[in-house]
């Protein structure tokens, strides 16, 4: 709920002994003047009203209530801060500071739950901009300026949403790459070419070819839909050797799956090699990577020093004597080093995720083969052994992908675990047996047709499934890309509009308060690309130049 202040009344707070009225009527206010004229009395009163604290009076040696109450008041006098609102009368309230039984107490006149929630929400807002904060802002680095301003206007929260979109986009791209749809589709197209002489892409074309293949058999069945093929196969099966048909279907399934994996040898080995290289980089510099977990702590420490929450010339953690300036310079240097380490870790995480996804998908394919009942037969022990060996090899990749880089353990390089063409030598057993079965079936045209129709139907359905999955992921990727690009555009527009208006106000205030100085056209300018802002700086003209 957006609420604007109508009026502020202060009495008995700091230097404001008598009643002081500020009729804002919904506007913001700029307080400036010489030291001792009462600026802090007003800002402290407002900060206390909304947050029950005053940042520059937060030392443990200072009693806040005693420091806030005007020193000339008697015990009978009551200090008050009253705030009334435009279109928010239900939030009108007075916060009183009074002496009771020799002790200072405080209370609100408005005790409603709604007002309490409003106060809680107000603590998350930047209600006051003190000169000290503005000075610190000017002295900050370009990156810290952006962070400081981002926190004020909520830009940092928007950036988090942008990062979620970017990660989603990257995840979809990785998923599309790792599924390797092209290789899977091409393998099934080869099956179609072998079985029916054409890599048909339309249902109508497949049905037309099948009807031509079965015409000499005079089955009395005309295939009109994909579902009709099952009825045809059921009829053909009755006049064929079912055991041979089942074995041929099994062998062709294993061959197609292992053919796909064989085509992917270079792809999988290359992805693993990338992971291995990134693992070695990280393992060789574990200490610096461990430091990345300290980044937020260091940034928080720098904020504590920048905002002067810790004022002594010492380290706020170990309390050893240390120049604040030197300490901030050291923190800045460490954060810069950590940023470089964070980039290394990001490359490593990406490579680790990629090889992890690749191995899970390929193990799933091989597990499906190992669940086939015929693969456990004695006649197919070579196929079982070859398929199991392929799975064992991929599981080595998988184990390497989950190895903790901080464990001190080595992972095998590509030469030790990478796929070789010889890993697929057992396919010769499959190919030879397929030839034997086909030779037997040459005498039974029904068996040949059954085999070709069954295999081509399965291949066509798989192609459509892969294409559907690819299209779905591509649509998701393109949608996220459009949203991401539009998000960046709106984010940049919002920041530019704010900075333009903010710069205009800053320049106006500065010129009003310093009419004779040579600095003109003061403005804030962003640094970096649209989607990767890395800081802001201040530009101005000096004597018109």
Distance of CA 305 to the CA centre of its chain: 30
Length of the chain: 545
Q: How far is CA 308 from CA 44, 342, 545, in A?
A: 17, 28, 35
SS3 533: strand
pTM greater than 0.85 (yes/no) = no
Integer Cα distance of 419 and 441 in angstroms:
35
**Which of the listed CATH numbers 2.40.50.140, 3.40.1380.20, 3.40.50.920, 3.40.50.300 matches domain 4-128?**
3.40.50.300
Nearest to 307 by CA among 491, 452, 183, 137: 137
pLDDT tens digits, the chain, 545 residues: what are they? 567 889 999 999 988 888 889 998 888 777 877 878 888 889 889 988 988 888 777 655 567 788 888 889 999 999 999 999 988 888 999 999 999 888 889 999 999 999 999 888 887 776 776 666 666 666 666 666 666 666 666 666 777 788 888 888 888 888 898 889 999 999 999 999 999 999 999 999 999 999 998 888 888 889 999 999 998 888 888 767 788 888 999 999 999 999 999 999 999 999 999 999 989 888 887 777 777 777 777 777 777 777 667 777 777 777 788 787 788 888 888 877 777 778 888 888 889 989 999 999 999 999 999 999 999 999 999 999 999 999 999 999 999 999 988 888 899 998 899 999 999 999 999 999 999 988 888 777 888 888 899 999 999 999 999 999 999 999 999 999 999 888 888 877 877 888 888 788 878 877 777 777 777 888 877 776 655 666 667 788 887 76
Q: What residues have CB less than 8 Å from 277, skipping those under 6 apart?
A: 351
The per-residue pLDDT for 494 is 79
Q: Are 411 and 400 in contact (CB under 8 A)?
A: yes
Q: Which strand (E) or helix (H) includes residue 36?
A: none
Q: Percentages helix, strand, coil for the chain, rounded to the nearest 5?
A: 65, 10, 25
Q: Are 384 and 376 in contact (CB under 8 A)?
A: yes
- Residue 164 φ/ψ region, left for φ over 0, alpha for ψ in the -120 to 50 degree band, beta for the rest: alpha
DSSP 377: S
Q: How many CB atoms lie within 10 A of CB 98?
A: 19
The per-residue pLDDT for 251 is 95
Q: Are 180 and 267 in contact (CB under 8 A)?
A: yes
Q: Where are the domains of the chain?
A: 4-128, 169-486
Q: How far is CA 307 from CA 56, 126, 130, 535, in A?
A: 10, 14, 11, 19
Integer Cα distance of 154 and 510 in angstroms:
25
The per-residue pLDDT for 483 is 92
Residue by residue, what is the 3-state secondary structure of 488-522?
HHHHHHHHHHHHHHHHHHHHHHHHHHCCCCCEEEE
The per-residue pLDDT for 469 is 93
DSSP sequence for 342-372: HHHHHHHHHHHHHHHHHHHHHHHHHHHHHT-
The per-residue pLDDT for 152 is 63
Nearest to 54 by CA among 22, 14, 18: 14
Q: What are phi and psi of 21, to 5 degrees?
A: -105, 135
* Residue the block writes with tokens 């998350």: 124
Q: What residues have CB less than 8 Å from 52, skipping those under 6 apart?
A: 106
The terminus-to-terminus CA distance of the chain in angstroms comes to 45
Q: What residues have CB less than 8 Å from 371, skipping those under 6 apart?
A: none
The per-residue pLDDT for 2 is 66
The per-residue pLDDT for 478 is 93
Q: Are 448 and 437 in contact (CB under 8 A)?
A: no
The per-residue pLDDT for 376 is 92
Question: What is the number of helices (H) and of strands (E) in the chain?
Answer: 18, 7
């Amino acid at each position: 709920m957006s609420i604007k202040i109508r009026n502020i009344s202060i009495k008995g707070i700091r230097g404001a002994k008598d009643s002081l009225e500020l009729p804002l009527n919904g506007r913001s206010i700029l307080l400036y003047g010489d030291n001792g004229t009462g600026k802090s009395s007003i800002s402290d009163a407002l900060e206390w009203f909304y947050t029950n604290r005053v940042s520059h009076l937060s030392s443990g040696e200072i009693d806040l209530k005693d420091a806030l109450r005007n020193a000339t008041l008697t015990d009978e006098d009551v200090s008050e801060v009253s705030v009334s609102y435009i279109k928010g009368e239900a939030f009108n309230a007075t916060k009183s500071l009074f002496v009771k039984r020799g002790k200072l107490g405080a209370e609100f006149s408005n005790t409603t739950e709604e007002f309490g929630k409003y106060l809680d929400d107000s603590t998350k807002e930047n209600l006051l901009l003190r000169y000290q904060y503005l000075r610190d802002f000017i002295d900050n680095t370009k990156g810290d300026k952006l962070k400081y301003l981002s926190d004020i206007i909520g830009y940092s929260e928007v950036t988090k949403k942008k990062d979620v979109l970017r990660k989603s986009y990257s995840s979809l791209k990785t998923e599309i790459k790792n599924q390797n749809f092209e290789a899977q589709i091409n393998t099934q197209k080869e099956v179609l070419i072998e079985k029916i002489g054409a890599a048909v892409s339309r249902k109508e074309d497949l049905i037309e070819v099948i009807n031509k293949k079965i015409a000499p058999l005079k089955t009395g069945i005309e295939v009109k839909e994909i579902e009709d093929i099952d009825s045809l196969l059921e009829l053909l099966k009755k006049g064929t050797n079912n055991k041979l048909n089942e074995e041929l279907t099994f062998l062709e399934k294993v061959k197609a799956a292992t053919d796909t994996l064989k085509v992917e040898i270079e792809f999988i080995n290359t992805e693993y090699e990338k992971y291995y290289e990134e693992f070695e980089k990280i393992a060789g510099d574990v200490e610096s990577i461990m430091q990345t977990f300290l980044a937020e702590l260091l940034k928080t420490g720098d904020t504590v020093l920048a905002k002067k929450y810790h004022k002594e010339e010492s380290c706020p953690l170990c309390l050893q004597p240390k120049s604040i300036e030197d300490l901030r310079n050291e923190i800045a240097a460490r954060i810069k080093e950590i940023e470089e380490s964070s980039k290394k870790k990001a490359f490593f995480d990406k490579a680790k995720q990629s090889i992890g996804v690749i191995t899970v998908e390929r193990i799933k394919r091989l597990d499906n083969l190992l669940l086939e009942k015929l693969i456990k037969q004695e006649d197919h022990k070579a196929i079982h052994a070859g398929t199991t060996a392929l799975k064992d090899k991929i599981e080595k990749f998988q184990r390497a992908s989950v190895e903790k880089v901080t464990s001190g353990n080595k992972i095998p390089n590509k030469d030790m675990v990478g796929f070789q063409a010889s890993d697929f030598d057992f396919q010769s057993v499959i190919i030879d047996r397929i030839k034997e079965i086909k030779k037997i079936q040459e005498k039974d045209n029904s068996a040949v047709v059954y085999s070709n129709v069954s295999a081509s139907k399965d291949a066509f359905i798989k192609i459509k499934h892969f294409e559907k999955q690819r299209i779905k992921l591509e649509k998701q990727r393109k949608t996220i890309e459009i949203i991401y690009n539009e998000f960046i555009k709106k984010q940049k527009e919002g920041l530019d509009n704010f900075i333009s208006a903010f710069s205009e106000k800053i320049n106006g205030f500065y010129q009003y308060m310093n009419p004779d100085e040579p600095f003109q056209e003061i403005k804030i300018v962003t640094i970096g690309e649209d989607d990767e802002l890395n800081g802001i700086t201040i530009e101005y003209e000096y004597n018109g130049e």
